Chain A
Amino acid sequence: MAVSTSNAPKARRRGTDAPYADQYQDWLRMMLLIRRFEERAGEAYSIGQIGGFCHLYIGQEAVAVGLISALRSDDYVISAYREHGQALARGMTSRSIMAELYGKATGCSGGKGGSMHLFDLEKGFMGGHGIVGGQIPLGAGFAWAAKYRKTEQVSLTFFGEAAANIGAFHEALNIAGLWKLPAIFVIENNGYGMGTAVKRSAAITDLHLRAASYGMPGVEVDGQDIVAVREAAETAYARARAGEGPTLLDIRTFRYVGHSMSDAASGTYRSKEELDASRQRDPIALLEARMRDAGLLDDAGLAELEASVAAEVADAATFAEESPEPDASALFTDVLAPHGEDT
């Protein structure tokens, strides 16, 4: 649902003067879906149905939904290993994602990717990637391809604030700024790279200031307020499509859970008080409040949305559980292009 095929009409103003009011319902459903999906994934991980690493997105839902809801269907999205939320927001099905987490043949990557490597070429979802910051030059590459082909597509690259400290960030942003690529670089700044706080890893903690080095705007955004995220997205996309080049968004958000399923939500590198305080600005609660104020949501409406989301997640889990394992022969396929494949 969240994939808009047009350049985001600002407001059809149905029952309220608020911009985007006609999209609130879709946004809320998607944010709820991401949260309930992730809660279910966490449960499935804890009983061994999901293996490997599993990095949950709970608390950051407004970032993915706010940014991706304003994209065209032919734009590119690429992310790191905390990407279930972005994949859902991009319109990949709960079934295909959950089945991938289970490693099943019906998963979006045929069970060969797993939690960190969700792909859907048709949706322009170019993957979750497991090396911190390694996807940033790839995002610039999609933007380069769009410029090469003159398509006015944009490329949206998600990464955490810790990735802003690696060389790939600098190299990709410098080239993107130099060549005015239609790239949007999104720092999902949840304050912690695994267990290391920003102030312990970055010489300048206001990361949006780094954009000045690359000849592009750097914008700090309240990542808990989906309207703020959406507005920042539209400004950046319009600039990119007009050939004016990239934007760096430093989106301040918070993850409620640990870095991965092996990491407690609080206790070691951050306090329970800090976590509790962050929950006071829950992105879903904020949108709900906005909708209630505008008369667009009541208890019955919310219950209906919750039920719909719960049913979708339950269906996805059942689908994943009942899906077949990949055939043993799949071990050796997809290493190289099939012999004789054209182009």
Chain B
Amino acid sequence: MAVLTYRDALNEALREEMQRDGDVYLMGEEVAEYNGAYKVSRGLLEEFGPMRVVDTPIAELGFAGIGVGSAMTGLRPVIEMMTWNFALLAIDQIVNVAAKIRYMSGGQIGCPIVFRGPGGAALQLGAQHSQAFESWYAHIPGLKVVMPATPADAKGLLKSAIRDNDPVVFIEGEMLYNLKGDVPEGEHLVPIGVADVKRAGQDVTIVCHSKTVAPALNAAKALSEEGIDAEVLDLRTIRPLDEEAILRSVAKTHRVVVAEEGWYFAGVGAQIVDLVQREAFDDLDAPVLRVHQADVPMPYNKYLEKAAKADATKIAAAVRRVCYKD
């Protein structure tokens, strides 16, 4: 085990997969000579050269489409979006082509591509740079949506995503790049579609992913001092969703809070609530509650921004409510 940042764990995954398979290449804005806008691709140009670590113009639609086209011929591109906010300009290629090509072609043509980059809010970046779009992509059949919360998961899931034969939307947490953690060296694969119990507990399940995992763990720690033993279930993959893991945990705890970074309406949490009420209705001792960001564009002002975001305090409050202890 080495202690790595989330950023360096992603870098290690890219390096190992590019060493392993000559069909894997990285393309995007500033990935090569600048070493990556968030330095995820540091050193890769030097090791692999400009045909495999490729700087593009600022043209998300164009380079995303070039990546998709190359994947249709069997290459395995990793397309870095400087942020998922900018990827909106490429969404035609992700949704209308990458997600559809296998089906439209009757199974003849696949699309083994990874679109990756930071999603969600950072600090005071304003409305256009602070958006969590996982529910958009998870809505689309034909896409897989992966969101690691820890350095170890970042490495293991990115390696799996690159080896996956379907298009993977790999959303990193913009605030997680400096997070440190133990990361297994060498071949470390985390399967796509498998959730992880980050903290076992008996009284309530907090379903979370990506940036809400750490506040959920903090909330659980605080709640334990109040006598509430919370289980923290990190989805890791939004689609395919590990429904069994959710239901297993609900069967144990009988109470659920869903914590997500995105907006409320038609968010990921809505899907979890649907699953739980449909498949585990009789297990529930309380209505499922959701913690999410305020249903507004993200404000710039730091106090308003804090008020808008999901955090440990809000998660803990929701847990107390489902435990009828507030």
Contacts and interface: CB of A to CB of B under 8 A. Distances in A.
Interface of A: 76, 78, 107-113, 117, 119-121, 126-127, 129-131, 134, 136-142, 144-145, 147-149, 155, 167-168, 170-172, 174-175, 178, 333-337, 341, 343
Interface in B20-77: 25, 51, 56-57, 59, 61-75
Contacts of B62: 137, 140, 168, 170-172, 174-175
Contacts, number: 144
A127 B101 contact: yes
A144 B103 contact: no
Contacts of A334: 102-103, 105-107
B93 interface: yes
B106 A138 contact: no
A327 to B, nearest CB: 12
B109 A127 contact: yes
A163 to B, nearest CB: 13
B165 A141 contact: no
B97 A175 contact: no
Nearest to B21: A343
A250 B101 CA distance: 28
Nearest to B75: A145
Given A138-B68, A140-B66, A337-B165, 14 more contacts: A108-B106, A109-B104, A112-B103, A134-B65, A134-B93, A140-B65, A141-B73, A145-B75, A171-B59, A172-B65, A175-B57, A175-B59, A175-B62, A334-B105
Contact of A138 (B65, B110, B141): B65
A31 to B, nearest CB: 27
A129 B109 CA distance: 14
A227 B66 CA distance: 31
Contacts of B97: 129, 134, 138
Contact of A341 (B59, B66, B141, B165): B165
Interface of B: 25, 51, 56-57, 59, 61-75, 92-93, 96-97, 101-110, 112, 141-142, 144, 164-166
Given A141-B67, A141-B72, A168-B61, A336 B166 contact: yes
B305 to A, nearest CB: 32
A95 B298 CA distance: 55
A120 B108 contact: yes
Nearest to B72: A126
A127 B75 CA distance: 18
A141 B112 CA distance: 14
A117 B68 contact: no
18 contacts: A109-B108, A126-B109, A127-B104, A136-B65, A138-B69, A140-B69, A141-B65, A141-B66, A148-B51, A174-B57, A175-B56, A335-B103, A335-B141, A336-B142, A337-B165, A337-B166, A343-B74, A343-B165
Contacts of A333: 107
Contacts of A336: 102, 142, 144, 165-166
A171 B66 CA distance: 10
A168 B102 CA distance: 22
Contact of B68 (A111, A137, A337, A341): A137
Contact of A141 (B69, B102, B142): B69
Contacts of B102: 334-337
Contacts of B166: 336-337
Most chain-A Cβ atoms within 10 A of its Cβ — which of B51, B106, B107, B141? Answer: B106
Contacts of B93: 134, 137-138
Contacts of B61: 137, 167-168, 171
Nearest to A78: B69
A136 B66 CA distance: 9
A117 to B, nearest CB: 4
A112 B59 contact: no
B25 A121 contact: no
A78 B106 CA distance: 16
Contacts of A171: 57, 59, 61-63, 65
Nearest to B76: A343
A40 to B, nearest CB: 22
Nearest to A181: B66
A148 B102 CA distance: 23
Contacts of B165: 336-337, 341, 343
Nearest to B165: A337
A131 B104 contact: no
A199 B66 CA distance: 30
B95 to A, nearest CB: 10
Nearest to A111: B106
A144 B105 contact: no
Nearest to A137: B65
Contacts of B105: 109, 112-113, 117, 119, 121, 127, 334
